[in-house]
Amino acid sequence: MKHMGKGDSTKRGENNRELASSVNSHSQTHDIEERYNALFERSRDAVYIHDIDGNFTDFNVAWLKMTGYEKADISNLRLFAFLPQDQIPAITEATDELIKNGVSKFHEFKLKRKDGSFVDIEATSFLIYRQGKPVAVMGIARDITERKRIDEALRLNEWFYRLLADNVTDSVWLMDMNLKIIYASPSSEKLRGYTVQELLELPLEKHMTPASLQIGLKMFSQEMKKLEEDPGYTINRTLELEYYRKDGSTFWSESTFCLVRDDSGKPFGIIGVGRDITERKKSEEELTKINERLQKAMTGAVETISIMSELRDPYTAGHQDQVARLAAAIAKELGLPEKRVSAIRMAGTLHDIGKVSIPSEILSKPGQLSDIEMAMIRNHPKVGMEILKSIDFPFPICKYVVEHHERMDGSGYPSGLKGEEISIEARILAVADVVSAMASHRPYRAALGIKRALEEIAKNKGILYDPAVVDACLTLFSQQRFKLE
């Protein structure tokens, strides 16, 4: 068996004419032979001819390239030399069927190359007749190795995807761009009580409670708008939503939504992954209730302590409450978070607790204080810190209390802190304390009034008092949004 050389042109011509005759007996043999030769030699697909016994009689350049052989190498090889042993029976059967029934079919099999490697090919065969009898087989083969690799990769990807989607305990679903569910994982059935098919047919408004539906639709509306403005935008949002089960009960799910694109980058759907967080939500709600009860208990205790300290100093009764309310109002005006506002209110209620260490006769003394008495007064922030430090507050209340007499220029006490060395909470308390104290009656002077108090903080803005805090306080009074009682 050898590739036909110059001396074999007559034999190829006979084959060509026989093939041409079998294709179209009414055409001119010469024209068909020329066309056949052109197709045979120039075809990108490998074309080969072997006799009924599998001996090669002809092949084109593409066949040599596919197999890795030179022309001279194939002279002693038969068809079976190019096949793995386990595929020989199948190819033999296919050839016998072709000869018997004359039916050509596509077959996929591995082709063994000269170097021992294998290439996946797709081949189809045709019979060549001579005098009405099949004498040879012509095969056309195409390398499909890359296609097989891609198919296998896709198969594996799909298998892994199905493995994950079908076995995770979290619910997984895919929606089209109109939010219609087109896939739901089997785990959804256990979580929702619906079958997968029922979930696919369920209207959107039946999936979740009205409040959660509104939250979800609002989120998607915002995200779709961003996507319209920026085609490259990626949706990746997590929401806590309340879903319905088939029996009418509800559960909370932490649901994450991500945009899915096709190979061209065009968005075609949104994948959702949901996790049942009902027990977590219950725990959070219970914890919130416990914290609220503790907060009320602590607030009550703080107010009780404040009242007890004011009983020793009737002239300053109500002062700590005034400072707490004004300080909280200033904090809100500055835009501080509610938790810090609450901390400032609590610190205002307790800011003068250290005065319990000062004899009542000094606190109510109408005349000028001595240096020793003044030193005792100036020590009350430290005493207040010592009293409060054993209490486990949720905020650094002790720090705010001990710093509320510090001043921006360092002239305050007890530590002579300057500027931002003083916490913003203490800077707020300082202004509120001065306004309340000046506007109120004291044993050693009559009430100076709110006008004088506001003039004091305005005159010393940036010197003794924080400018932003002063401005916020002045705004509250000028706009009549706060009133000392």
- 310 and 438 housed in the same domain: yes
Greater confidence (41 vs 482) lies with 482
- 98 and 226 housed in the same domain: no
Q: Give which of 348, 402, 346 is closest to 379, Cα–Cα.
A: 402
* Domain end call among 276, 303, 332: 276
Asked if residue 200 belongs to a domain, the reply is yes
Asked if residue 207 belongs to a domain, the reply is yes
- 204 and 238 housed in the same domain: yes
- 334 and 411 housed in the same domain: yes
CATH number of the domain residue 36 falls in: 3.30.450.20
* Cα first-last separation, the chain: 116
Element (H, E) at 484: none
pLDDT tens, position by position, 282-333: 888 888 887 777 777 677 766 666 666 666 666 565 788 899 999 999 999 9
Asked if residue 156 belongs to a domain, the reply is no
- 293 and 260 housed in the same domain: no
Asked if residue 362 belongs to a domain, the reply is yes
Asked if residue 153 belongs to a domain, the reply is no
Residue 370 sits in which domain range? 282-478
- 205 and 255 housed in the same domain: yes
Asked if residue 413 belongs to a domain, the reply is yes
pLDDT tens, position by position, 110-167: 888 888 888 888 888 888 888 888 888 888 888 888 888 887 777 776 776 666 656 6
The tally of domains found in the chain comes to 3
Asked if residue 162 belongs to a domain, the reply is no
| Sequence-distant (≥ 6) Cβ neighbours of residue 183 within 8 angstroms | 165, 172, 173, 174, 200
- 304 and 405 housed in the same domain: yes
**pTM of the full structure:** 0.46
CATH number of the domain residue 314 falls in: 1.10.3210.10
SS3 sequence of 406-465: CCCCCCCCCCCCCHHHCCHHHHHHHHHHHHHHHHCCECCECCCHHHHHHHHHHHCECCCE
- 313 and 181 housed in the same domain: no
Least confident of 1-15, 118-132, 256-270, 442-456: 1-15
pLDDT of 7 > 60? The answer is no
Asked if residue 68 belongs to a domain, the reply is yes
Length of the chain (residues) = 485
Report CA Rg, the chain: 46
